[in-house]
Amino acid sequence: METSSDLAVRLTRASRRMQWDVYNAITWPDQLVEGAWWMPPELVSIYGTSAWDALDETQRKSLSKYELGNFFSLVLQGERPLVAGLSDRLYARSNDKNITQYLHHFLDEENKHMVMFGEFCHRYIGKVYPEKKISLPREYAKGEEEVAFFCKVMVVEELGDYYNTTIEKDERIEPMVREVNRIHHVDEARHLAFGRQHLAEVFEQHRAKWSDEQLTGFRQWLVDYLKASWGDYYNPTMYRDAGLDDGYELRQLAMTHPACAAQRQRASAKLVSYFIKTGLLAEEPAL
């Protein structure tokens, strides 16, 4: 079977072949096409609720713009600790030369993504939304921090990729918005392939040394982390920027409404099935 080290060799080759320059590859128009959707309506956080039904077309499109800005911002904010963590792992004793070589590309590509998302958000939204997630200090069992790091990578990348691929295919979406999603997906397909294989190996290697209690605790942390990540999609400031003044109520609505829960379940299906297949989770969590 192909190991993550073997896979890293192939992915390094692909990254070199497909190398791109973030400063010259993209021509940013002064203005984006008026009246287009930025986030597909079905992916807007309050779609399917009475609050959505109450909005007219202009309000819905305005919300779809800020939802997209929030989405790009939260991917960017997830890439910051990802780059830091990858950098910490370069030339680590536990990683062979092939993996370190690929991590250089992974890190380089994530840095470019942050430049791209940052540029888009500054130009067309006027800001990058700040990070909201609070990281609680906790004690780790041996190897747990390593497994947790690659789980966080999978969460930001798999959820992000669900949005990227859905938006990229949607003809109702503003062309530049589609293009940025497409560019991101091309690099992410390699990161996801590596992450899936590498995390499975890292988990396999460490879980044998964990007690049942530690494994249960870890799974609980993972479910909580996944839920917190979904919370980031329901940003009160984003609702306010779209001209809706009850931002906290809308966040609450999105977190509790069955239509929104069904959407979370759909968007997380691939990720959750990976976690179950590898044993990182024992069962499908209620999201």
The residues binding Fe ion (CB under 5 A) are 113, 157, 188, 191
Closest to 127 (Cα-Cα) out of 237, 243, 254: 237
Furthest-apart CA pair in the chain: how many Å?
A: 57
Whichever of 106 and 203 has its CB closer to Fe ion, that residue is 106
Whichever of 78 and 285 has its CB closer to Fe ion, that residue is 78
Start-end of H helices in the chain: 4-17, 50-53, 57-89, 97-124, 144-169, 175-207, 212-231, 236-241, 247-256, 258-278
Q: Find the shortest distance in angstroms from Cβ 142 to Fe ion.
A: 27
- What is the rounded CA–CA span in Å between residue 162 and residue 184? 12
What is the per-residue DSSP string for 63-100?
A: HHHHHHHHHHHHHHHHHHHHHHHHHHHTT-TTS-HHHH
Q: Find the shortest distance in angstroms from Cβ 123 to Fe ion.
A: 19
Q: Find the shortest distance in angstroms from Cβ 35 to Fe ion.
A: 29
Whichever of 188 and 232 has its CB closer to Fe ion, that residue is 188
Q: Find the shortest distance in angstroms from Cβ 113 to Fe ion.
A: 4
Q: Find the shortest distance in angstroms from Cβ 158 to Fe ion.
A: 10
Whichever of 36 and 83 has its CB closer to Fe ion, that residue is 83
Whichever of 113 and 198 has its CB closer to Fe ion, that residue is 113
